[in-house]
A and B are shown apart, each in its own frame.
Chain A
Amino acid sequence: MLKDITIGQYFPGDTPIHRMDPRTKILNVIFYIIALFSCGGIVGYVLVLAYLIAAVRISRIKLKTILKGVKPLIIIIIFTALLNMFYTPGNELVHFWRLTITDAGLKNAVLMVARIIMLITGTFLLTYTTSPITLTDGLELLLNPLKKLHAPVHELAMMMSIALRFIPTLIEETDKIMSAQKARGADFETGNLIQKAKALIPILVPLFVSAFRRADELATAMECRCYTGGEGRTRLNPLHWQRLDTIGLICGIVLLTGVIVLRQFGL
């Protein structure tokens, strides 16, 4: 059911990846994404893939969990693959009706799918191994220089951590409301599209009402604890740069440099 959505979910653990500073992980993901999109050939992709597999293995996140994260995006992936397959010019391989598959198209489709899956998996690994609070802490620190330009960095980070914090709560709440409606005979499974959309109204109304109520309560609670924004705020668990982080950062830089060098040789 809805509970199976794993986006933004954190799986606690005690592996080097879990212990790493969030800043290292965020930077690593950025390096990883740049590397992924700079690949000049198969060898580059293999290198990036190896990096991903190594990271997943170290984090001890189960393959099943990772695939579950990819599942909701399967339609987009298939759509991209089909578009690439049929609309890339090149040497014709198969031809039927008005569609042609070319060799370049096939290659493009495969690479595109690999890219998307690697992109999703890589970024999910970040949220799987970093609790939302440390994640936003890391983000805030990384963006700190922007404060000089009067960018509301702290506020953005706070909004993000609240949003992340409430995703599971809202999902849980939706589940509850749906159960309560089902208990009174509401039917969400059968019927045509319009009937199904109509059946959603009884869920959305209480969900919005409770979301606003929660927001209101949260604001009051924060004010009661003297929250006045980021000015002068200290941390319960200040982030510490460890040797692990230096190693992690070096790995990321090596990956990116490696891919760029390979690209020069067209690999």
Chain B
Amino acid sequence: MNPIIETKELTHIYSRGTPFERVALDSVNFSVNPGEFMGIIGHTGSGKSTLIQHLNGLLKPTDGQVLFDGTDIWGDKHFTRQVRFKVGLVFQYPEYQLFEETVFKDISLGPKNMKLPEEEIRRRVYEAAAFVELPDSVMELSPFELSGGQKRRVAIAGVIAMEPDVLILDEPTAGLDPKGREQILSNIRAYQDARHATVIMVSHSMEEIADSVERLVVIHDAHIAMDGTPREVFAHASELESMGLSVPQVTNVFLRLRKMGLDVDTSVYTTEQAKAALLALKGGRPGC
């Protein structure tokens, strides 16, 4: 399978030539396969946001290339703009960027910039709103009248309305309550299923990542430190710790159990798996 997005020796240096020069990405080679749900984790300042802003052509590489479907996205100006519609990016705290008078207008910004016909724009806006479970009653309200979680969902709908093939989200659940988090995660999964889209999600919550993704990339200090299935990555608990990261809580519990002498499988990383493992230990008898 050909990767849908690929980076080649991607390097990004901020404020080059000033005393504040900072290498945020250093020769990163990385690829995303179509239809994948990929997670990106890394300590604060490791370069996650910088990396994903390259994937839709918002940041220009200092060195190296970013390919979309095998074509260099910076090769042709027209293509760069097309890529921005195909690779939808939801920023960190996107609710601060809402600006239109009504929720409807804000969500329709992307499709409008795509120069779609009026009817199609309406259809997309309402469909996007449905994906993030925004009731029709809020469509004519000002975005500033909504709650934080609702604003976040409006911002996500604004990107979904472009119907991108790749949806990238930078910490989509940061600062939300558990119910709001779960809701947004299930909205994202619903979009992926409906459109067979590729999803890339940056998150600081290991539980969230463990529950959602099929592939996990760890960024540490401008480099890709690990790349594999969550099971493979979470098997390196001590290395993750040294990068300022951790494994999901359940994995920690199982590591402790193992230390206490219980013969358990320490490669579990979701509560479902934990339940299965504990039941297996009890000899497969359900119930307590």
Judging by beta carbons under 8 Å apart, are B94 and A184 in contact? no
Provide the A2-36 mask, 1 if CB < 8 A to any CB of B, else 0: 01000000011000000000000000000000000
CB distance from A67 to the nearest CB of B (A): 12
| CB of B188 within 8 Å of the partner chain | no
Judging by beta carbons under 8 Å apart, are B162 and A181 in contact? no
Judging by beta carbons under 8 Å apart, are B17 and A183 in contact? no
Q: Look across to chain A and name the residue whose beta carbon is closest to the beta carbon of B112.
A: A185
Judging by beta carbons under 8 Å apart, are B113 and A183 in contact? no
CB distance from A6 to the nearest CB of B (A): 8
Q: Look across to chain A and name the residue whose beta carbon is closest to the beta carbon of B109.
A: A184
| CB of A57 within 8 Å of the partner chain | no
Judging by beta carbons under 8 Å apart, are A183 and B58 in contact? yes
Judging by beta carbons under 8 Å apart, are A179 and B91 in contact? yes
**Chain B residues positioned under 8 Å from A11 (CB to CB):** 18-19
Judging by beta carbons under 8 Å apart, are B15 and A3 in contact? yes
Judging by beta carbons under 8 Å apart, are B91 and A180 in contact? yes
Give the interface size class of chain B: 20 to 34
Judging by beta carbons under 8 Å apart, are A187 and B99 in contact? no
**Chain B residues positioned under 8 Å from A185 (CB to CB):** 81, 84-85, 109-110, 113-114, 162
Interface residues of A in 34-74 (CB under 8 A from B): 64-65
Q: Which of A176, A184, A206, A210 has the most CB of B within 10 A?
A: A184
A-B pair count, CB < 8 Å, reads 60
| CB of A209 within 8 Å of the partner chain | yes
> How many Å lie between the Cα of A209 and that of B162 in the bound state?
26
Judging by beta carbons under 8 Å apart, are A64 and B99 in contact? no
Partner of A180 from B14, B15, B18, B94 at Cβ < 8 Å: B94
CB distance from B172 to the nearest CB of A (A): 14
Partner of A183 from B14, B18, B89, B98 at Cβ < 8 Å: B89
Provide the A206-223 mask, 1 if CB < 8 A to any CB of B, else 0: 100110000000000000
Total number of A residues with any Cβ neighbor in B under 8 Å: 22
Judging by beta carbons under 8 Å apart, are A176 and B99 in contact? no
Judging by beta carbons under 8 Å apart, are A187 and B81 in contact? yes
| CB of A186 within 8 Å of the partner chain | yes
**Chain A residues positioned under 8 Å from B205 (CB to CB):** none
Provide the A168-183 mask, 1 if CB < 8 A to any CB of B, else 0: 0000000011011111
| CB of A94 within 8 Å of the partner chain | no
| CB of A224 within 8 Å of the partner chain | no
Given A182-B58, A183-B159, A185-B84, are A176 and B97 neighbors across the interface (CB < 8 Å)? yes
Partner of A182 from B14, B84, B158, B162 at Cβ < 8 Å: B84
Judging by beta carbons under 8 Å apart, are B162 and A177 in contact? no
Partner of B17 from A64, A186, A205 at Cβ < 8 Å: A64
Judging by beta carbons under 8 Å apart, are B96 and A183 in contact? no
> How many Å lie between the Cα of A65 and that of B14 in the bound state?
15
Judging by beta carbons under 8 Å apart, are A206 and B84 in contact? no
Judging by beta carbons under 8 Å apart, are A184 and B110 in contact? yes
> How many Å lie between the Cα of A209 and that of B18 in the bound state?
31
| CB of B144 within 8 Å of the partner chain | yes
| CB of B230 within 8 Å of the partner chain | no
> How many Å lie between the Cα of A180 and that of B100 in the bound state?
14
**Chain B residues positioned under 8 Å from A177 (CB to CB):** 96-97
Q: Which 10 A-B pairs have the closest CB atoms?
A: A185-B113, A205-B99, A184-B110, A180-B97, A183-B89, A206-B99, A179-B58, A180-B91, A202-B99, A184-B109
Residues of B within 8 A of A (CB): 14-15, 17-19, 53, 56, 58, 81, 84-85, 88-89, 91, 94, 96-100, 109-110, 113-114, 144, 158-159, 162
A206-B96, A209-B99 are known contacts; what are 10 more A-B pairs with Cβ within 8 Å? A65-B18, A176-B97, A181-B97, A182-B84, A183-B89, A184-B110, A185-B81, A185-B162, A206-B97, A209-B144
